[in-house]
Amino acid sequence: VAALTVVLIVAALQMVHIDEVDTVASEPTPALAFDLLGERAVAGAVVLGAAAFLMIGAFDALWDVVHEDLGTPTWMANLGITLFGIPLILLGPFGGRLAQRVGPYSVAGVGLFLAAMFMAIYGQLPTGTWIFAVAMVHAITDGFTFSASGVAVSMAVADERQAGAQGLVGAAQALVGGIAAIVIGAVYDGFGRGTAYTVAAAGMAVLVMIGLALSAPLWRHRDGPGTPRPRLATGVGT
């Protein structure tokens, strides 16, 4: 299930088109990309991306066991996790363009706060059928906003740093997603469904607030003809 979700997300992100802007590197490219975290635009996007995968790690860790404990029909549980990924693919390109037009930090922030709200709601719903229904709405909102953190990173770094920046985001997402799956699973075993989903939602909210605080000057930054990118020490922007 986790592998399927990751594959669907990667496919959605690959469909997002980011307009290329010619840049000239002012400094040699470092072998590692950790220096990019010194830039608020990149650090904020990385934290927002990590918040998204905290959700994925918790969601995947809880989905099967929650539905089993609630007595949800197996076909419904399997169908739900499959359908959840479809909007990420179908709506990903629209979400990417929305992030470019409105501003990726704003779109990511709104989308992740909504996602945290949905995660908290899952812990309070009485049946698996209700969880299935709410998850379908959640999937649609994620489809429009999930790619925004990747768009933010692409807009924030020079072309020659794109690979390193995306790798940095991916590493942060994988790390946070894995930790979330372990921690939230343990919370579920010890304290139950309501607490597990609430802890996941709270963790997401904290990361989103940190990410938005780091990127506060860029909340409304957009990418388009004549729009400069954020200026970074790596030679980005004009």
Residue 24 lies in a domain: no
Amino acid identity of residue 206, one-letter, is: V
pLDDT band at 32 (very low <50, low <70, confident <90, very high): low
Q: Among 54, 41, 31, which residue's Cα sits nearest to residue 205?
A: 54
The pLDDT, as a whole number, for residue 87 is: 93
Residue 229 lies in a domain: no
103-128: pLDDT as tens digits: 999 999 999 999 999 999 999 999 99
Distances from the Cα of 165 to the Cα of 41, 168, 216, angstroms? 11, 5, 20
| Most trustworthy range by pLDDT among 28-32, 115-119, 157-161 | 115-119
Domain containing 88 equals 39-218
The pLDDT, as a whole number, for residue 119 is: 98
Domain count, the chain: 1
pLDDT at 233 over 60: no
pLDDT band at 167 (very low <50, low <70, confident <90, very high): confident
CATH number for the domain harbouring residue 128: 1.20.1250.20
In sequence order, the 6+-apart residues with CB closer than 8 A to the CB of 164 are: 29, 30, 32, 33, 36, 157
The pLDDT, as a whole number, for residue 30 is: 60
Residue 146 lies in a domain: yes
Residue 72 lies in a domain: yes
| pLDDT more than 90, % of the chain | 58
**Range with the poorest average pLDDT among 22-26, 81-85, 153-157, 208-212:** 22-26
